[in-house]
Amino acid sequence: MSFLVIGECVADVVRAPGTADRVHPGGSPANVAYGLARLGRDVTLLTQLADDPAGRLIGDHLRGAGVRVEVGGLPERTPSAVVGLDAEGRATYAFDIVWTLEAGGLPA
């Protein structure tokens, strides 16, 4: 059985006092595709990936797990979800996600 997952890829950025930002591949659809591939399933992710460091990190992460990545658009930058941790470990969240997939952007 083959799977097609459609949705966004997001750079999950963790900010904590006194440490450098940590960037991780994320986005719910990307996580689902990654998990399916790790389970040995045939999976394709139709998404958008920016040609920036975060986009390349995410693409390499997915392809390394065996996900076929079909890019339906090239946004200017990779969307992000930033979690900030204060000195007591309390979290705040900020999302910068714009995701559209034009009909003309679908692969044949």
Domains and CATH numbers, the chain: 2-99 (3.40.1190.30)
- DSSP letter for each residue of 22-63: EEEEE-HHHHHHHHHHHTT-EEEEEE---SSHHHHHHHHHHH
Dist CA 85 CA 28 (whole Å) = 21
pLDDT at position 88 is 87
The pLDDT of residue 10 is: 96
Query: 3-class SS at 76?
Result: coil
pTM here is 0.85
pLDDT at 3 over 90: yes
Residue-wise pLDDT tens digits, 15-67: 888 889 999 999 999 999 999 999 999 999 999 999 999 999 999 999 999 99
pLDDT per residue over 78-100, tens digit each?
999 999 988 888 999 999 988 77
Distance CA 3, CA 6 (A): 10
User: What pLDDT does 43 receive?
Assistant: 98
Q: What is the pLDDT of residue 21?
A: 93
- In whole angstroms, what is the distance from residue 24 CA to residue 51 CA? 16
Structure confidence at residue 108 (pLDDT): 57
